[in-house]
């Protein structure tokens, strides 16, 4: 869960690399570093903390070279210290390496290299790469890396410079994202194409233990047998995105307020009102293939898993297809049954989530067709799935996902509609569903207009350290997502439960110091939920209700009510989610927490 950036070309490599790291900081912000070759020596700078600290130190040192590798770290092995920061070196500092991933056999490699007399400076798994490559170096750095790669177990992406090759970067990747941007007389390397998209839209992706030698004018790629291979350039759409806060205090707040537009983007040109169905540009399966689907398995982690849980209700209710939602990190270690006519859907905002990619591989090995749902064109999910629906949400910088979640729900709603219209749903019902979908941006704007009300309620409850989030049916996974947002950015212990399960144990924890956030915007189960709230109120538990306009019976039970516009149950998760995002944001703000880059978390989870 780290960000790699590299540059070789005529421009100031240090300046370009620092700007690239700033766009990768969502991937890790424990420490940052940069290295290059100058006058046949490795020159470097490493700092604990965010990229800004590295930028300041680099300016003080007045570093300047034309080839650079850089890194922003999220710690997996070793504390965030200067010694543990990347780049890492061999003992004589003849080479520098930056790395994303985990070397699973680093302990045995370290012992072997230490037995050979090599001395280590850090606690990291990455340092073994530097020493291992150096141990094989006899004047040919490419061969040294090629010798080392088979001994390094696990997913990895690396970029390396050597003092004897001042105009080169050696890169390698296995099951971890690494893209090469091809410019005019310059080449870029990054974990995320958005980091160099302002410079070039032509890209080459590495995978499957491939190693590449990069100069300002050439890219030579070799497979795991050391045979040279030709890689096709791909052209990315769009230009580099503006990742400024645009006057907002935090990226998260900006991204919350972008949701009316990102929902519009997710819907744009993806349905036909005349026929009451969806036209999903990314779904290239034939009609016969889609009609033959008898079961759907959804693979996802974290927020994407919550979106998958909502989608399961949607697809089963509307299309009458059985859906199984699996946490990716668990699925890959199960002996799961994938029968004929099973469609697997892989959900990942970044498209680089390691556990979801591993689960995809497991499903494909059993013969499954895979439909990806992600936000990043050219990501590994988008490339490895049989076809992919893109969210069109734009870059999401805040670690806690907001607009990507509601875009996922929007796209998955369209998918459920398409599958339902192919089977059992009438055109009239399809048209009615589309009318409600089209109302969503305006409904979200209505919720956002209540931010001052939500902020005052958040201030009232910000001093509590334990919360319950409850809901029924569609509102249960919505409650899980709301609880996750509060945990992520405010560090409050927030637990989500189906409302009917509270009396089966969790209600023992309810007292006047434990508020409950109740998601009430599900008309089918509303009366039952009121009964559950009465049970909580009888035990002195404070209650914040998120309920639809006109919903009755709450005033005597709840302490505070936040109202959202009425919409069908199938889509009610979206406005209720906007409320929970704002509630979490303002509670975290009141508590003085780090909102965009919360402790211990990184945006793109590229390690297992």
> Are 273 and 431 in contact, with CB atoms under 8 Å apart?
yes
Task: Output the 3-class SS for 420-466.
Answer: HHHHCCCHHHHHHHHHHHHHHHHHHHHHHCCHHHHHHHHHHHCCCCE
> Are 345 and 366 in contact, with CB atoms under 8 Å apart?
no
Render 316-332 in DSSP notation, one character per residue: HHHH---EEEEEHHHHT
> Are 270 and 418 in contact, with CB atoms under 8 Å apart?
no
> Are 241 and 167 in contact, with CB atoms under 8 Å apart?
no
What b/e sequence results for 171-194 when a residue is b if at least 16 CB atoms lie within 10 Å of its CB, and e otherwise?
bbbbbbbbbbbbbeebbbbbbbbb
Task: Answer yes or no: 387 catalytic.
Answer: no
Phi, psi angles (nearest 5°) of residue 492: -95, 140
Of 2, 301, 309, 388, catalytic: 2
Of 23, 254, 487, 603, catalytic: 603
Cis geometry, peptide bond prior to residue 87 (ω within 30 degrees of 0): yes
CA distances from 162 to 130, 134, 173, 212 (A): 10, 10, 18, 14
CB count within 10 Å of CB 429 equals 15
β 323-327/295-300 pair status: parallel
Give the span between the Cα atoms of 560 and 188, in whole angstroms: 52
Give the span between the Cα atoms of 521 and 454, in whole angstroms: 17
CB count within 10 Å of CB 249 equals 12
3-state secondary structure of 584: helix
> Are 198 and 33 in contact, with CB atoms under 8 Å apart?
no
> Are 548 and 566 in contact, with CB atoms under 8 Å apart?
yes
> Are 97 and 129 in contact, with CB atoms under 8 Å apart?
yes
Task: Answer yes or no: 603 catalytic.
Answer: yes
Give the span between the Cα atoms of 270 and 277, in whole angstroms: 9
> Are 188 and 200 in contact, with CB atoms under 8 Å apart?
yes
Which positions are annotated as active-site residues?
A: 2, 603
């Amino acid at each position: 869960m780290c960000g790699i950036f590299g540059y070789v070309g005529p421009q100031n490599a240090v300046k370009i690399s620092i700007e690239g790291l700033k766009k990768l900081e969502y991937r890790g912000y424990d420490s940052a570093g940069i290295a290059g070759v100058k006058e046949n020596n490795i020159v470097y700078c490493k700092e604990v903390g965010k990229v800004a600290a590295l930028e300041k130190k680099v300016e003080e040192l007045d570093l300047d070279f034309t080839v650079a590798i850089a890194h922003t770290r999220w710690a997996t092995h070793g504390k965030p210290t200067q010694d543990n920061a990347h780049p890492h070196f061999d003992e004589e500092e003849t080479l520098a390496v930056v790395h994303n991933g985990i070397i699973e056999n680093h302990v045995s490699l370290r012992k072997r290299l230490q037995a050979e007399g090599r001395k280590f400076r850090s606690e990291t798994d990455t340092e073994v790469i530097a020493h291992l490559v150096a141990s094989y170096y006899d004047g040919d750095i490419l061969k040294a890396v090629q010798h080392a790669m088979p001994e390094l177990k696990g997913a990895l992406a690396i970029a390396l410079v050597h003092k004897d090759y001042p105009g080169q970067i050696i890169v390698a990747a296995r099951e971890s994202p690494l893209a090469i941007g091809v410019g005019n007389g310059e080449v870029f390397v990054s974990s995320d194409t958005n980091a160099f998209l302002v410079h070039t839209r032509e890209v080459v992706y590495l995978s499957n233990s491939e190693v590449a030698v990069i100069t300002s004018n050439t890219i030579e790629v070799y497979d795991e047998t050391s045979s040279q291979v030709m890689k096709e350039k791909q052209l990315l759409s769009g230009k580099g995105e503006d990742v400024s806060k645009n006057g907002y205090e935090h990226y998260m707040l900006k991204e919350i307020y972008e949701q009316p537009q990102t929902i519009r983007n997710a819907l744009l040109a993806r349905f036909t009102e005349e026929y009451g169905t969806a036209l999903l540009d990314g779904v290239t399966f034939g009609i016969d293939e889609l009609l033959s689907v008898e079961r759907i398995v959804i693979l996802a982690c974290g927020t994407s898993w919550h979106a998958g849980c909502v989608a399961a209700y949607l697809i089963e209710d509307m299309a009458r297809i059985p859906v199984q939602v699996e946490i990716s990190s668990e699925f890959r270690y199960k002996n799961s049954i994938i029968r004929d006519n099973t469609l697997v859907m892989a959900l990942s905002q970044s498209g680089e989530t390691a556990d979801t990619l591993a689960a995809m591989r497991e499903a494909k090995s059993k013969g499954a067709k895979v439909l990806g749902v992600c936000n990043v064109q050219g990501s590994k999910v988008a490339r490895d799935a049989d076809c992919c629906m893109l969210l069109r949400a734009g870059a999401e910088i805040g670690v806690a996902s907001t607009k990507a979640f509601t875009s996922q729900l929007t796209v998955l709603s369209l998918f459920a509609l398409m599958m339902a219209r192919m089977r059992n749903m009438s055109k009239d019902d399809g048209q009615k569903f589309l009318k409600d979908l089209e109302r969503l941006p305006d409904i979200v704007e209505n919720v956002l207009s209540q931010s001052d009300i939500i902020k005052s309620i958040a201030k009232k409850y910000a001093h509590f350290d334990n919360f319950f989030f409850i809901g029924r049916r569609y509102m249960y996974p919505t409650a899980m997502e709301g609880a996750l947002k509060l945990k992520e950015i405010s560090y409050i212990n927030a637990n989500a439960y189906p409302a009917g399960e509270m009396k089966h144990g969790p209600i023992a924890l309810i007292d006047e110091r434990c508020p409950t956030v109740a998601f009430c915007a599900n008309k089918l189960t509303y009366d039952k939920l009121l009964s559950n709230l009465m049970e909580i109120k009888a035990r002195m538990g404070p209650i914040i209700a998120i309920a639809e306009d006109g919903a009755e019976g709450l005033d005597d039970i709840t302490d505070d009510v936040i109202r959202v516009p009425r919409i069908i149950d199938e889509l009610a998760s979206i406005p209720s989610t906007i409320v929970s995002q704002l509630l979490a944001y303002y509670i975290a703000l009141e508590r003085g927490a780090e909102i965009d880059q919360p402790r211990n978390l990184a945006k793109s989870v590229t390690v297992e």
